[in-house]
Amino acid sequence: MTPAVSTTGLTRRFGDFTAVEDVNLSVAPGQFFGFLGPNGAGKSTTIKMLTGLLAPTSGSIEILGLDAATNPIEVKRQIGVVPEGLALFGRLTAAEYLRFVGRMYGLDRATTADRTHELLDFMNLAAEPKKLITDFSHGMQKKLALAAAVIHGPKILFLDEPFEGVDAIAAGTLKNMLQRMIARGATIFLTSHVLEIVERLCSHIAIIDRGRLIAQGSLEELRAGTKPLHTTPNGPSSPQHLTLEEIFVQIVGTQQIPSEPTTAVLPPPKELSWLG
């Protein structure tokens, strides 16, 4: 089966510093994929390259079998992105912003209006229609960024630290949306430095440390430590027979694994029939 995302020898240097080195990732369609690693490991740099925001120094990226370097427009049609900095337009209202994004993706006016309405409702952002995005809380901005990332019904969604600074209720709404997309066959690639988030949501995981991929596999394989973990040929020694937590503690060098916001409260299910 053609992978949803695959990279070969993906490398990014900033001057003399190598932020991402020889990363070979493979994400199958329909996977909820967690890209885990401590601060500064290279997660954002990798996701920026996967989404066309940053050019690799070397190596290649394929999205749904398309070479990302030679098919940038087609790739952008198939993906949605919530980047680290959210990249919203602060002087617009949420509805104005979603309408703008929908039209940018080539949706017709009626479809854009319908989806804008549905998404604002789903994300509980419909109560203050005149409020400017700049006056939104961080959690509201994250929800809006996710709404904008899915308005065109992408097959793959990339999220850089989607739960960072988000309260339990907003986190519940975000998770609800992501699980809905997975149920409809979409692929999700999220970065996090929080083991708990990745363990709870993701079916497959890769772990990056100091720019190098040190593990990749299904959650069960990595948790059990029964299957040798994938390592890059010249990478660090294979962390075999360790649980995911032990691997992560080894990387981060502390038992103080950051914890997720408290239990999520899911809003009642609503229909977003075009999603996924």
Ligand X SMILES: Nc1ncnc2c1ncn2[C@@H]1O[C@H](COP(=O)(O)OP(=O)(O)OP(=O)(O)O)[C@@H](O)[C@H]1O
Binding site for ligand X (CB under 6 A): 14, 17, 19, 37, 39-45, 193
What is d(CA 267, CA 48) in angstroms, rounded to the nearest whole number? 31
Distance CA 173, CA 272 (A): 13
Give the nearest distance from C-beta 123 to ligand X in angstroms: 24
CB of 222 to ligand X, least distance (A): 18
Residue whose pair of structure tokens reads 């075009």 in the numeric block = 274
Q: Which helix (H) or strand (E) holds 155?
A: none
Q: What letter represents residue 115's amino acid?
A: R
Q: Give whichever of 42 and 154 is closer to ligand X, judged by the CB atom.
A: 42
User: Which helix (H) or strand (E) covers residue 192, if one does?
Assistant: strand 187-192
- The residue among 193 and 230 lying less far from ligand X, judged by its C-beta, is 193
Q: Which is nearer to ligand X, 107 or 252 (CB)?
A: 252
DSSP state of 193: S
Q: How far is the CB of 17 from ligand X (least distance, A)?
A: 6
Task: Give the contacts of 110 (CB within 8 A, at least 6 positions apart).
Answer: none
In 46-55, which positions are buried (b, 16+ CB within 10 angstroms) versus exposed (e)? bbbbbbbbbe
The alpha helices in 123-193, defined as continuous H runs, are 138-150, 168-183
Q: How many CB atoms lie within 10 A of CB 220?
A: 12
Q: How far apart are CA 106 and CA 216, in angstroms?
A: 36
Q: Which helix (H) or strand (E) holds 216?
A: strand 212-218
**Closer CB to ligand X, 37 or 139, in the complex:** 37
Which residues, other chains included, contact 130 with Cβ-Cβ below 8 Å and sequence gap of 6+? 93
Closest CB to ligand X among 84 and 114? 84
Separation of alpha carbons 262 and 63, rounded Å: 34
Q: How far is the CB of 42 from ligand X (least distance, A)?
A: 4
**Whose Cβ is closer to ligand X: residue 15's or residue 268's?**
15
What's the min distance (Å) between Cβ of 23 and ligand X?
Answer: 11
Minimum gap (Å) between residue 246 Cβ and ligand X? 20
Of 29 and 83, the one with the shorter C-beta distance to ligand X is 83
Q: How far is the CB of 20 from ligand X (least distance, A)?
A: 7
